[in-house]
Structure 1
Amino acid sequence: MKTKLVRLTFNIPDLKYAFIFLLIICSFTQLKSQEQAGIENFAFQSGEKLTYRGYYNWGFIWVAAGEVKLEVKDEAYSNKPAYKIEAEGKTLKAFDWFFKLRDTLSCYVDSTNLKPFYFDRKTHEGDYIARHQYWFDYEKNQVYSEIRKRQKPIKKDTLENMNISSDIVSVAYFTRNLDFSKYKKREKIPLRMLIDNEIHNLYIRYKGIEKVKLKNGEVYECLKFSPMLVKGNLFKGGEDMTIWVSNDRNRVPIMVEAKVLIGSVKGLLDSYEGLRSTRESLFKKKSGRLEFE
């Protein structure tokens, strides 16, 4: 199959959107396989840490604006074996005067099948503070939510969860373990996503294999996708996001780019450590940094 080398550039219209974008770098899919009992994990392990950089463009000036860190830990949940997965996003100190962001997302997933137990998002963006919590009950096929925004009363709700949905963190780690060789190029793959107390029936479009070239000349062969996005304050909706994931046993998200209401955004893998596999891997070491052009 003929592949194309991709030159990496950075483009983002608004500082706030840069970090919201990076925080959803791990929320791109939840595939039809999740309707089954779960999936065996081969792609990641406890101790894995991934760091991403966000960039925005103001006119002709390209500026790094912040970062997101993802970390996996072994931590039991209600006496059940589980992974705790945390995502922390923040603006760089140089930009805090303009717009300060400190967001934390965490979830617990069953380490035997990667199905989520619990999700918690703490949002601190400028003067906006909120918290979203979700508990997954598989015996009753329900999701219980508890949401608090600013100083308003806590809002509790119960959502139906017949075909198993996932939160925006656990979904990426589930997806990293799927067998993408079963899908044809440009095939639509159904997904279910829990976002802001609503379950959305969406899809991703598999776009085949494409190579990403780094500054030092290294080339990473990647799986390429375009997810169907929910229309909102950030996205117009449609297939305006593209994601590149390493085509090896680690399945690490390397690059994400998307069009937003004004302009476009990029998130790039900056460093990694604690990767599970060096066999059949594009990464020569379990820890290191990437240098993009």
Structure 2
Amino acid sequence: MKAKHLIIFLLTLFASSFSLKAQNANILIVPPFQIGEELTYRFRYGIFNCAEGTMRVEESPKEFNHIKPYRLIAKGETVSAVALITKVRNRYDSYVSPTTLKPFLFTESVREGTYKRDGYASFDHKNKVVNSTKGSFPIGDNTLDVLSVLYYARSLDFANIKKGGTIKFDFFLDDHTYPIAITYLGNETIKTPFGKISCMKFSPTVVEGRVFRKNSKMYLWVTNDANRVPVRAEVEILIGSLRLDLTNYKNLKYPVGSNVSDGNQRASN
């Protein structure tokens, strides 16, 4: 995989651990995140650190249809020896409704070596169309962008999801809508820089081609608590493997390991 595609690919990888069309998975009234939350990640290719990224939630300076949205921000940059080969400094912003968590606007600022690109995607959910830098495209009822899908998914009620169940969703990126199917593998306790954490484990399907080899495996771990924070992702690619790990967090809405009082966010094994 080219280094310039690494950041957005790994954001997409984490986003793909959830379902927008999941049966028995409705959005919760109160999102499991708050303004001020910040998550920091390290990307590794084999034994090498290759990139770092942050995702945070801010109060938006913009309004859409007289609604004050959340502003979701993701930044990524190459580090160490990779930065000497290709310097990547990318930023992605998504402005989402505070009630439905659907996006009003997605923007990107891509800085990869001497290459620069600024793009946008404006979502018209009423008319089921997205207007972007590359044109206008039809979308489904719940199609989100690659960043808002993660926060939307964290807000789903997984109370009735069963081990081995497969669920599907779609998200829009560039000029395409991408379908993904994932399987819930149950709960697993993993070691992290913050101690052992109980997580929900997922395995999304991958498509053989430029990035994945035949029978490539992808696994994702998300905290099985009230915060639903992605803590790890692993995926096999054409040459080697990629891994993403949470290295720091700030201003989580709930203490790590806590559960929502009504139990709606607990998954069953």
TM over 0.5: yes
**Aligned equivalents of 1:191 and 1:238: distance in 2?**
21
Output the CA distance in 1 between the equivalents of 2:240 and 2:163. 27
Residue in structure 1 matched with residue 117 of structure 2 by the alignment: 130
Separation in 2 of the partners of 1:116 and 1:237? 34
Aligned-pair CA distance for 1:113:
1.5
User: Residue 138 of structure 1 aligns to which amino acid in structure 2?
Assistant: H
Q: 1:127 to 1:247 in 2, by over 3 A?
A: same
Q: Are the structure 2 counterparts of residues 239 and 97 from structure 1 closer, same or farther at C-alpha, using a change threshold of 3 Å?
A: closer
Q: 1:69 touches 1:89 (CA, 8 Å); kept in 2?
A: yes
Cα deviations by residue, 1:108-140 (Å, 9 ceiling, x for unpaired): 000111111111122222343333311111221
CA contact (8 A) 1:14 1:56 kept: no
Q: State yes or no: 1:77 paired with 2:55.
A: no
Partner of 2:161: 183
The TM-score, its normalising length taken from structure 1, stands at 0.78
Q: Trace 1:8-19 onto structure 2 (pairs within 5 A).
A: 15-16=3-4, 18-19=6-7
Q: Secondary structure at the match of 1:136?
A: strand
Q: Which amino acid aligns with 2:176?
A: E
Superposed, which structure 2 residues align to 1:178-217 within 5 Å? 178-214=156-192
Computed over aligned residues only, the root mean square deviation of the Cα atoms, in angstroms, reads: 2.7
Structure 1 residue matching 2:144: 3-state secondary structure? coil
SS, match of residue 242 in structure 1: strand
2:142 matched residue in structure 1: 164
Deviation at 1:188?
0.9
Given that 1:77 and 1:108 are in contact with CA atoms closer than 8 Å, whether structure 2 keeps it comes out as: no
One-letter amino acid of the counterpart of residue 103, structure 1: N
Alpha-carbon shift at residue 177 of structure 1 (Å): 1.3
Contiguous gaps of at least 5 residues in structure 2: 260-269
- Give yes or no for contact 1:85–1:169 (8 Å, CA) kept in 2: yes
Q: Which secondary structure does the structure 1 equivalent of 2:53 belong to?
A: strand
Look up the match of 2:91: 104
Identity in percent: 33
1:181 CA displacement: 2.7
- Please point out which of 220, 225, 237 is paired with 1:243: 220
Given that 2:198 and 2:257 are in contact with CA atoms closer than 8 Å, whether structure 1 keeps it comes out as: no
Select which of 210, 231, 236 maps to 1:259: 236
Instruction: Verify the 8 A CA contact 1:30 1:172 in the aligned structure 2.
Output: no
- Counterpart of 1:123, as a letter, is V
- Counterpart in the other structure of 2:51: 66
Cα displacement (A) at 1:92: 1.9
Report the secondary structure of 1:96's partner residue: helix
Shift, 1:162, TM fit: 3.1
Q: In 2, Cα distance between the equivalents of 1:209 and 1:232?
A: 30
Query: What is the one-letter code of the residue matched to 1:102?
Result: R
Cross-structure match for 2:196? 219
Q: Quick one: distance in 1 between partners of 2:15 and 2:214? A: 15
Cα separation, partners in 2 of 1:206 and 1:238, compared to 1, 3 Å: farther
**Is residue 26–residue 157 contact of structure 2 (8 Å, CA) maintained in 1?**
no
Q: Give the deviation of 1:94 after TM superposition.
A: 5.0
Instruction: State the alpha-carbon separation in 2 of the partners of residues 260 and 140 from structure 1.
Output: 38
Hey, what's the Cα distance between the residues in 1 that align with 2:247 and 2:193? 12
Query: Over residues 82-110 of structure 1, what are the superposed CA-to-partner deviations in whole Å (9 max), with x where a residue is unaligned?
Result: 10000000012654221111111110000
Q: Count matched residues.
A: 256
Moved more, 187-196 or 225-234: 225-234
Q: CA deviation at 1:237?
A: 7.5
From the superposition, tell whether residues 239 and 32 of structure 1 become closer, same or farther in structure 2 (CA, over 3 Å).
farther
Distance in 1, matches of 2:228 and 2:158, equals 11
Secondary structure, in 3 states, of the residue corresponding to 2:159? helix
More deviation in 173-182 or 125-134?
125-134
Amino acid at match of 1:81: K
Structure 2 residue corresponding to 1:121, chosen from 94, 99, 108: 108
Distance in 2, Cα, partners of 1:110 & 1:237: 39
Change in CA separation of 1:237 and 1:112 when aligned onto 2, cut-off 3 Å: farther
Asked if 1:88 corresponds to 2:78, the answer is: no
